[in-house]
Amino acid sequence: MSERTPHDTARLALACLDLTSLNDADGEADVQRLAERAAGAPGRVAALCVWPRLVRSALAHAPRGVAVAAVANFPDGGADVERALRETGQIVAAGAQEVDVVLPWRALAAGGDTQTAALLRAVRRECEGRVLKVILESGELKSAALIERASRIALAEGADFLKTSTGKTPVGATPDAARTMLEAVAADAGGARRVGFKASGGVRRVADAAVYLDLAERILGGAALTPQRLRLGASALLDDIERVLSA
């Protein structure tokens, strides 16, 4: 469908990149290195994504115009509303512009739709006015029916983005899961022109990113190919973007 060259794809992927570091031992030095990578990139990335405890450091070092995102209920996606609220509140208090929260996917798979919705609703209230990305952990939900159900609940509770994965499970983003999520966005009356999609987990090369750019364009239209509607959560991807752009 797309006639984008690899160079075009790399430029677009860079603009939509959430440059991420979520290693357990990350500290301020790691965040500073992440920010330096963003500053040295051949163009602006969309955001830096870090742990809640490192938001202030990320804000201090992020290049001008680059947002800071942090994760909540991560990576396990438990059903403890108080924990999710506590971590979201920490992110908000520290000043991050974006929250990436893990949907309680085990509860959903066990039939806990109401419990799932309640956690997302509480988090949405806690971070009102900030971008909320809901991580479905699609590789663990596995079936299209469960992924679609998770997507519908997240949309109903005010998600600004549907995100595939934490990147901490064996299966991250897949084209099939992405298609299901994008179709759920397209079918949602309130979200079709507003809600975005984030592919995360295993997106390491520009060729990987191209798959998700093409899917988003096919299902949501070319207007969705902006950082306001499309994100790629990765760290290694920047290496390949730089390789393609320097060729």
Give pLDDT tens digits for 148-167. Answer: 999 999 999 999 999 999 99
Give the predicted TM-score (pTM) of the model: 0.97
Does 18 participate in catalysis according to the annotation? Answer: no
What pLDDT score does 2 carry? 67
| Residue 103 in this model has a pLDDT that exceeds 90 | yes
| 27-58 pLDDT tens trace | 999 999 999 999 999 999 999 999 999 999 99
pLDDT at 183 over 80: yes
CA distance 47 to 233: 9
The whole-number pLDDT of residue 107 equals 98
Mean pLDDT, range 114-122, rounded to an integer: 98
Spell out the alpha helix ranges (H) of 79-205: 81-94, 105-109, 113-126, 138-141, 144-156, 175-187
> What is the mean pLDDT of the segment spanning 161-181?
98
Q: Give the type of residue at 128.
A: E
Task: Provide the token pair at 52.
Answer: 């809640």
Average pLDDT over every residue of 127-136: 98
For the question of residue 168 being annotated catalytic, the response is no
* Mean pLDDT to the nearest integer, 121-137: 98
pLDDT digits (tens, 9 = 90+) for 194-208: 999 999 999 999 999
What's the rounded Cα separation, in Å, for the pair 161 and 133?
A: 4
- Asked whether residue 1 carries a pLDDT value surpassing 60, the answer given is no
Q: What is the pLDDT of residue 232?
A: 98
Q: Tell whether the model's pLDDT for residue 145 goes beyond 70.
A: yes
Domains and CATH numbers, the chain: 6-246 (3.20.20.70)
Work out the pLDDT band at 88, boundaries 50, 70, 90: very high
Q: Across the chain, what does the average pLDDT equal?
A: 97
Q: For residue 106, what pLDDT is reported?
A: 98
Catalytic residue among 18, 133, 160, 163: 163
Terminal Cα distance for the chain, rounded: 24
With beta carbons less than 8 A apart as the criterion, state whether 217 and 185 touch. Answer: no
User: What's the pLDDT at 3?
Assistant: 86
With a cut of 90, say whether residue 124 has pLDDT above it.
yes
Q: Of the residues 133, 188, 198, 208, which is catalytic?
A: 198
Distance CA 146, CA 159 (A): 17
Closest CA to 11 of 49, 36, 33, 41: 41
Give the integer Cα–Cα distance in Å for 45 and 99: 17
Catalytic site includes residue 133: no
Residues 6+ apart with CB under 8 A from 103: 77, 116, 119, 120, 134, 135, 136, 137, 150, 153, 154
Q: What is the rounded average pLDDT of the residues 239-245?
A: 98
